Amino acid sequence: MDQRAAQKLVFAMLDADGDGIVSKEEYLARTRNVALAMGLKEDDRLVAAARTLGEGAWEAMDADGDGKMTFDEYAAWAGAEAFDTVCAPVLGALFDLADTDHDGALDLSEFTALRTALNNPAPNAEAAFTALDSDGDGRIGRDDYIASIRAHVTGEGSPMGRALYGRPLSDVPAR
């Protein structure tokens, strides 16, 4: 899958209401949704850290500062450098929210709760977990999780990414 195709799938996941625009509220709801799914309170230090990183990511993505991100804005911004400097810390903070026992890894339940809170269908999350759990130990490490998403969004290919965002491109609007 090329980078643009991967970006379309990620953008469709970020566009929770499917209107072709990711609003600031939609993007920032990601932290709140994961916190709620994991039973964490808004004032939890990990929630506060994830919220701050999410706000910084939004500022970087919303190039014109209008509170809305189109696919073209996202595609112009998204890439390896943006992932490494902006997205990876946000994804890591969200991972930490789901890591309820703070052992640096997610089991299937934690992983599925995280990804469904981020707008992926549960069957896709379960398939993605299986694809990433290459040693079959029932755990996904933080670094492997982030590396797999990076590989997907940069067009390098990722079995987890294909499973997680895996809906046919024909289902994703060509914006």
Which domains are delineated in the chain? 3-171 (1.10.238.10)
**pLDDT value for 51:** 97
157, 87 contact by CB (below 8 A): no
| Two structure tokens written together for 98 | 């789901």
pLDDT in tens, 45-63: 999 999 999 999 999 999 8
94, 53 contact by CB (below 8 A): no
| Two structure tokens written together for 147 | 């590396």
Cα–Cα distances in angstroms (integers) from residue 100 to residues 15, 16, 24, 161, in the given order: 27, 25, 27, 23
Which of the pair, 158 or 11, is modelled with greater confidence? Answer: 11
| Two structure tokens written together for 154 | 């940069």
**pLDDT value for 166:** 64
**pLDDT value for 104:** 96
- Residue 146 has, within 13 A of its CA and on its CB side, a CA count of 20
Distance CA 96, CA 129 (A): 16
The conformation of residue 170, written as its DSSP 8-state character, comes to: G
Distance CA 48, CA 63 (A): 24
Top mean pLDDT of 1-10, 102-111, 116-125 is at 102-111
Share of residues in the chain with pLDDT > 70 (%): 94
Distance CA 125, CA 165 (A): 9
SS3 state at 15:
coil
**pLDDT value for 165:** 72
Distance CA 162, CA 43 (A): 34
Instruction: Answer whether residue 117 shows pLDDT above 60.
Output: yes
Instruction: Answer whether residue 168 shows pLDDT above 60.
Output: no
Q: Closest Cα partner for 151 from 132, 129, 126?
A: 132
Residue tagged 């919220």 (tokens): 51
Amino acid 112 reads T
Instruction: Answer whether residue 81 shows pLDDT above 70.
Output: yes
